[in-house]
Structure 1
Amino acid sequence: MWRESEPDERIELDVDGYTIVAYSFGFGDETVLCLNGGPGLPCDYLREAHCCLVDHGYRVVAFDQLGCGESDRPTDPSLWNISRYVAETETVRQSLNLGKVHLLGHSWGGWLGIEYALAYPDELKSLILEDTVADMPASIAELDRLRAALGSETVAMMQRHEAEGSYDHPEYQAAITLLNYRHVCRLGQWPAPVMRSLADWNQGPYREMQGPNEFHYTGNLKDWSRLGDLWRIPVPTLITCGAHDEFTPAGALKMKLALQNAELKVIPNASHMPFYEAPETYYPALLDFLSRVTGPLP
């Protein structure tokens, strides 16, 4: 189960002249390298949800991507693109001498994980795609379906504010808040690591790459799709998805069918953060997958 935990190591790395801060838990030979969502979101929420894997013999490594957390925060918008983040991830892996890793990507980190797996398939032992998609145009259509459940009047109000750019209007924010509690985290009180990450969210990379919120895409990833390339990823892949996820089970199923060697676990009573919402289901599924890939650990 997830817990707050101090890392065994905090490492500062130089990546193309910028400082990237990584956090390492445990000392096992099998490394789970975590790629958090966002973009621009500190890794606290994901590292605290997975550092417990050390109890099962794994080493867990996470890092604050450029632009967030304790890493440098430049303001040059040309830096906010997925190719640069793929190169950053590989530099982190090499700099920490991690060898082949189990790459775990959540949300935006899943898109990054897919791109990394296509660029560096030989550096992976497995791929774990959590609450993510491989085809944003199709996912945007699914998001529109979720928005429609708010009712036609509310959707019309949201579209008007989006056309005007008045994303901060209270009635628009009220609709987004309702969607967040339905499809991002269904807990009445969100866990402290989630709130800590959200409180320090750098909106620069987020708006440049994604948009103003989780339910309206305007950034440079809005047309991103790798569904047709997933067959090139050879490693065992676990896909997890909450039954009420903003990235719906329909998108997760498309990934499963497109990959060579994938399995899908849809987690009931959860949305975009099953590790907090349904830990009793999430962790056994993750550990079972890892154990079948790695075999028994010391």
Structure 2
Amino acid sequence: MKWIAAFAALAFATPAVAQADDPLDWSAPDQELRVAVDGGEVWVRVNGDLEADAAPAIFIHGGPGGTHTVFGGLISMADERAVILYDQLGSGMSDRGGDPATWGVERFVDELEAIRQALGVERWHVVGHSWGAALALEYAAAYPQHTASAVLGGTYISTPHWILGTNLLIRDLPDDVRDTLIACEAGRAQPGMNCDAATAAFYRAYNGRADSPPLSPAARRYFGQYNGRGFNGQIYNTMWGPSEFSARGTLVGYDGTPLLSQVDGSRILFMIGQYDEARIDTVQDFLTLTPGAEFAVVPGGSHSFPMERPVETEAILRAWLARKD
């Protein structure tokens, strides 16, 4: 789930033609506010009209410990509905406060509801990515009256399923990379094995592919102005652990799949990249557990598809949100 550092490194380094932006993408917010939550204040930005007929959409970033910047190329959707971005407590532009003992799913869901109340929004779409997908599902189950739809992007909703999926993906890598990663994860790395290089190879395959377009000049400026203190590795390590391939933190036993039978499936969209860490067959199993739900695959995208393929991502989201208003 720790995608942002891997993708950003590739995006800044790749010598290719930068992707073009809509004039609204990577733009300054129409409104900024800080919302008090348990442990501090979270930074929230809004583009577009919160009073428009179309329900607003709040975008929930991954990590844990990531930032809202993954969604900067989707701000142009504000021409149809209000687009709400925020940094979860402890990362990006939000306060670094909070007791690590409270870093759990419930606290981050409460954070979402505090934002809704502060903005005076009655009903909105919750669009989650990676770890944010778990929060979107949890929110939809806890607050169905306020949920127009939930998008479970880069679908992490269960640690056991995620660990099984990433370990299956390791076996699809070249033999030397596979053997190195397996040895490194087991604490049996031999002299000459480069664990960091093998992990980077995994990322290039599934989480920020080498053929991804680099960040545009507008995106680079945005990162400089709105990335705040960036990714918070302490949150990631506390809640998840040191690597994508094994969970040792507070999320080690997390499994939100029972919620799939409790939500309105007709208002659930699973969405992943073609080469996503969230494996297609795993998400198809989730789909089976969610009657009426839909499934979208972003062509050419990895787990970082919102930044790699913003045009395709936006097209899918626009159509889905319009149908579920």
Give TM-score, length-normalised by structure 1: 0.88
How far off its partner does 1:200 sit? 2.0
Q: CA deviation at 1:23?
A: 0.6
The aligned counterpart of 1:267 is 298
> Of the candidates 25, 32, 42, which is equivalent to residue 20 of structure 1?
42
Whole-Å separation in 2 of the counterparts to 1:146 and 1:17:
37
* Residues 172/226 of structure 1: CA separation in 2 closer, same or farther (3 Å cut): same
Give the partner amino acid of 2:58. L
What amino acid maps onto 2:307 in structure 1? Y
| 2:245 is aligned with 1:215 | yes
Q: Deviations over 1:263-291 (max 9, x none)?
A: 10122211112233334432222111112
Deviations, residues 85-121 of structure 1 (Å, cap 9, x unaligned): 1111111111111111011000000011111111111
User: Could you list the runs of 5+ residues in structure 2 that have no partner in the other structure?
Assistant: 1-20
Q: Which runs of 4+ in 1 moved over 6 A?
A: none
Contact kept in structure 1, 2:138 and 2:259, CA below 8 Å? no
1 or 2 for the larger relative contact order (CA 8 Å, sep ≥6)? Answer: 2
C-alpha distance in 1 between matches for 2:102 and 2:64: 12
Q: Name the residue aligned to 1:255.
A: 286
In the other structure, the counterpart of 1:7 is 29
Q: How many residues align?
A: 290
| Aligned counterpart, 2:73 | 49
Distance of aligned partners of 1:178 and 1:153 in 2 relative to their CA distance in 1, 3 Å threshold:
closer
Where 2:56 maps in the other structure, the secondary structure is strand
Alpha carbon RMSD of aligned pairs, Å? Answer: 2.5
- The aligned counterpart of 1:118 is 141
* Residue identity matched to 2:289: A
| 1:97–1:165 CA distance, 2 compared to 1 (3 A) | farther
| Cα distance change on mapping 1:233 and 1:160 into 2, 3 Å | same
The match for 1:180 is 203
Alpha carbons of 1:87 and 1:170: their partners in 2 closer, same or farther (altered >3 Å)?
farther
- 1:60 deviates by 0.6
What percentage of residue pairs aligned between the two structures are identical?
Answer: 28
Decide which of 86, 97, 105 is 1:63's aligned counterpart: 86
Change (3 A) 1:117 1:51: same
Q: Which residue of 2 aligns with 1:225?
A: 255
For 1:215 and 1:96, locate their aligned partners in 2 and report how far apart those are by CA, in whole Å: 38
CA–CA distance in structure 2, aligned partners of residues 204 and 69 of structure 1: 13
Distance in 1 (CA, whole Å) between partners of 2:88 and 2:203 is: 23
